[in-house]
Amino acid sequence: MARYRGPVEKIERRLGVSLDLKGERRLAGKSALDKRPYPPGQHGQRRTKVSEYGLQLKEKQKAKFMYGIAEKQFRGLFKEANRIDGNTGENLISLLEQRLDNVVYRMGFASTRAFARQFVTHGHVLVDGKKVDIPSFRVKAGQKIEVKEKSKNNPQVVRAMELTNQTGIASWVDVDTEKVFGMFTRLPERSEIQIPIEERLIVELYSK
């Protein structure tokens, strides 16, 4: 499946939860989900009973849209999470959190993961001093993430950093907001990752 390029707020309304797809609008209470908290379409306000499969599929869709990942790549991550010792669902979330685009977002250098992905792809981000333009690059504990010098005054980066006063910065990264660089200090515990996803249902879906 190709990457979804339609109106992202429609996705949030359909899934009934904020996925941080519209950073500043969400913080200002102006997102479509805030204004119309029901699915889009003429039958959106009807109450419907969702099957067990429907619930499992919904959780997978939440994760895919939140982290901006297509089905093939997401399935590959799940298989890898299943091979790693420990809880498969927690392993999956950990792998998603280690993506470079997500780390850039968590450090507050981008207001959305979509912008973080674009920012990385265009070569504005350095990992341990070397340019990395692959959003799915897996960041390891102890690696330094830095915005290139000429990109530090990018208006969207500056605005994103300002918004961190409202959103805060993840506790598993250490960020110097003046120099616009940070350290991925450790892998986060699942309890620290505040996302509206029940990974247990994703594991059940793929385990069928």
Q: Is residue 21 part of a domain?
A: yes
What's the domain count of the chain?
A: 2
Both 117 and 129 in a single domain?
yes
Contacts of the segment 30-37: beta carbons below 8 A, 24+ positions apart? 33/9, 37/13
Taking the model in full, what pTM does it have?
A: 0.87
Both 92 and 103 in a single domain?
no
Q: What span, in angstroms and rounded, lies between the C-alpha atoms of 111 and 165?
A: 12
125-127 β-sheet, strand order: 130-131, 125-127, 143-147, 181-184, 173-176
Both 121 and 79 in a single domain?
no
| The two structure tokens encoding residue 139 | 């960041």
Both 110 and 164 in a single domain?
yes
Both 22 and 48 in a single domain?
yes
Q: Is residue 181 part of a domain?
A: yes
Both 150 and 162 in a single domain?
yes
Q: Is residue 203 part of a domain?
A: no
Both 29 and 78 in a single domain?
yes
Both 82 and 147 in a single domain?
no
Both 37 and 81 in a single domain?
yes
Q: Is residue 195 part of a domain?
A: no
pLDDT at 1: 42
Domain extent, residue 15, equals 8-96
The CATH number of the domain where 182 resides is what?
3.10.290.10
3-state helix, strand, coil in the chain (%, to 5): 50, 10, 45
Both 66 and 115 in a single domain?
no
> At which of 75, 96, 117 does a domain end?
96
- Tens-digit pLDDT string for the chain (208 aa): 456 666 676 776 777 777 776 666 665 555 665 556 666 665 556 667 789 999 999 999 999 999 999 999 999 999 999 999 999 999 999 999 999 999 999 999 999 999 999 999 999 999 999 999 999 999 999 999 999 999 999 999 999 998 887 778 899 999 998 899 999 999 999 999 999 999 999 999 999 7
Both 85 and 152 in a single domain?
no
